[in-house]
């Protein structure tokens, strides 16, 4: 199975011109990276421009967020149908930076199920704020998974992606150790098997947080994840090219 690399550009770059240049570099790097599926998540305002010009197969597009309601008085929001109309095939749900801005577990539940109805792949982000000796982080992850997947039928789990992103590793110098990620991969699958049955094993799991060209391969091979969610390194054309090369 191809590895998945999500390029989460967050609120970058500043102009459409720069977004097109970054996308062109990403396209070239993705074309050369056999065995890697790249999902580019640009700011919503650039999504349609970038997707319109792209004719290849290696890259698909994601919205960084979308509202669960179909339409109405939600100033500043983007709907799932609008994201789909702009050629997104996936949507990030519950990113730590949105949870910090007030997005709740219950919001993630509504977004995940609305995304499945809209035929978009939900990329549900989970992750604890910090780690303590007592293993409290497992309780946090369990609750985020329970809420986010509460309305997902077992048959749809193969459409889901879970991105485990420990908040303390996002924007940090170093990622979590691949060995600890392996433990978390097993835990996440176990939790979903408990709630949804054996189909829980079909959920794809990504790691995110301080991934770059120096640590990506090790995280996939030793963390036993299907792929990576990359922030900073995805907006640096040089780093992202080397990251994809390391996985190809
Ligand atoms: P980072 O961000 O790669 O810059 O640490 C990851 C993320 O927030 O998705």
Domains and CATH numbers, the chain: 3-70+79-238 (3.20.20.70)
Average pLDDT, the chain: 97
pLDDT recorded at residue 67: 98
Report the alpha-carbon distance of residue 234 to residue 240 in Å, rounded. Answer: 5
Q: Reduced to 3 states, what is the DSSP secondary structure of residue 103?
A: coil
pLDDT recorded at residue 63: 98
Report which ligand 1 atom has the smallest distance to the Cα of 6.
9
**CA-nearest residue, atom 6 of ligand 1:** 231
pLDDT recorded at residue 111: 98
Q: What residues line ligand 1, using a CB cutoff of 6 Å?
A: 8, 165, 170-171, 208-211, 229-233
Q: Name the residue of 213, 231, 235 to mutate for ligand 1: max ligand atoms within 8 A of Cβ.
A: 231
Active site residue 95: yes
Percent of the chain with pLDDT over 90: 98
| Cα 150 to ligand 1 centre (Å) | 26
Q: List phi, psi (to 5°) of 33.
A: -100, 85
Report the alpha-carbon distance of residue 102 to residue 227 in Å, rounded. Answer: 27
- Confidence class of residue 132 from pLDDT cuts 50, 70 and 90? confident
Reference 54, options 79, 82, 81, 89; nearest CA is: 89
Tokens 């179909």 sit on residue = 70
Catalytic residue (choose from 97, 103, 128, 165) = 165
**CA-nearest residue, atom 3 of ligand 1:** 231
**Average pLDDT, stretch 199-210?**
97
Helix 237-247 to helix 216-223 angle (10° resolution) is 40
**CA-nearest residue, atom 7 of ligand 1:** 231
Report which ligand 1 atom has the smallest distance to the Cα of 163.
9
| Cα 153 to ligand 1 centre (Å) | 29
pLDDT tens per residue across span 86-121 = 999 999 999 999 999 999 999 999 999 999 999 999
Largest Cα span, the chain:
50
Catalytic residue (choose from 95, 137, 196, 226) = 95
| Cα 165 to ligand 1 centre (Å) | 8
pLDDT tens per residue across span 208-229 = 999 999 999 999 999 999 999 9
Q: Looking at the predicted structure, is the pLDDT value of residue 133 above 90?
A: no
**CA-nearest residue, atom 2 of ligand 1:** 231
Q: Name the residue of 9, 209, 215, 235 to mutate for ligand 1: max ligand atoms within 8 A of Cβ.
A: 209
Report which ligand 1 atom has the smallest distance to the Cα of 171.
5
DSSP 2-57: -EEEEEE-TT--SSHHHHHHHHHHHHHHHHH-TTEEEEEE--HHHHHHHHHH---S
The continuous run of DSSP H or E covering 190 comes out as: helix 178-196
């Amino acid at each position: 199975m191809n590895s998945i690399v999500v390029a989460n550009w967050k609120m970058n770059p500043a102009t459409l011109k720069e977004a097109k240049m970054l996308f062109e570099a990403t396209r070239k790097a993705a074309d050369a990276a056999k065995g890697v599926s790249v999902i580019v998540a640009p700011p919503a305002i650039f999504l349609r421009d970038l997707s319109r010009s792209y004719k290849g197969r290696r890259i698909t597009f994601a919205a960084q967020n979308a509202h669960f309601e179909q339409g109405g008085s939600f100033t500043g929001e983007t709907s799932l149908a609008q994201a789909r109309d702009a050629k997104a095939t996936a949507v990030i749900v519950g990113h730590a930076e949105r949870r910090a801005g007030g997005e709740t577990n219950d919001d993630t539940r509504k977004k995940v199920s609305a995304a499945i109805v809209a035929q978009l792949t939900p990329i549900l982000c989970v992750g604890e704020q910090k780690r303590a000796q007592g293993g409290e982080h497992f309780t946090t992850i369990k609750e985020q998974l329970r809420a986010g997947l509460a309305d997902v039928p077992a048959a749809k789990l193969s459409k889901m992606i879970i991105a485990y992103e420990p908040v303390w590793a996002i924007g940090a110098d170093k990622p979590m150790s691949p060995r600890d990620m392996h433990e978390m991969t097993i835990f996440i699958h176990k939790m979903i098997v408990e709630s949804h049955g054996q189909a829980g094993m079909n959920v794809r799991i990504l790691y995110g947080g301080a991934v770059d060209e120096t640590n990506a391969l090790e995280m996939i091979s030793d963390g036993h994840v299907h792929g990576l969610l990359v922030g900073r390194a995805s907006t640096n054309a040089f780093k992202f090219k080397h990251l994809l090369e390391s996985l190809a």
